[in-house]
Amino acid sequence: MTHYRFLVESKPLPGREADYHAWYDGRHLQDLLQLPGAWQAQRFAVVGAPDGDDPTFFMIVDYETDDLPALLAEIQTRSSSGTMPSSDALDRASVKVTILEARPPVA
């Protein structure tokens, strides 16, 4: 099995931070952890950003799978069907997803 780490950066819409966090912590993380191969998820807040921009948040989710395209398709299917709903408090333009594949450790 290959270990993948999904890094997701996003922001709430202005004035919707409480709703954004309620959705992320109360629903979205649990939905992601129900996906095949999921084994941990955690959220982070960017602190000390020098540009003074609106708060930015990161989520990291770890998966183990031998079929990344199938996992991505399952995420799309669940999102499209409403099984894994999004939030209207999420600033969709701010979402950036990076998928990392673990490399063997150096001895």
Question: What percentage of the chain's residues is helix, strand, coil (to nearest 5)?
Answer: 30, 30, 35
Which is nearest to 24 in space by CA: 15, 34, 12?
A: 12
Q: What's 51's domain CATH number?
A: 3.30.70.100
Are 37 and 65 in contact by the 8 Å Cβ rule? The answer is yes
pLDDT digits (tens, 9 = 90+) for 29-84: 999 999 999 999 999 998 876 666 667 899 999 999 999 999 999 999 999 999 99
pLDDT (0 to 100) of residue 107: 74
**Is residue 107, in this structure, part of any structural domain at all?**
no
**Is residue 18, in this structure, part of any structural domain at all?**
yes
**Is residue 79, in this structure, part of any structural domain at all?**
yes
Residue range of the domain that includes 20: 2-101
pLDDT digits (tens, 9 = 90+) for 83-100: 999 999 999 999 999 999
The total number of structural domains that make up the chain: 1
Which DSSP category does 88 fall into? T
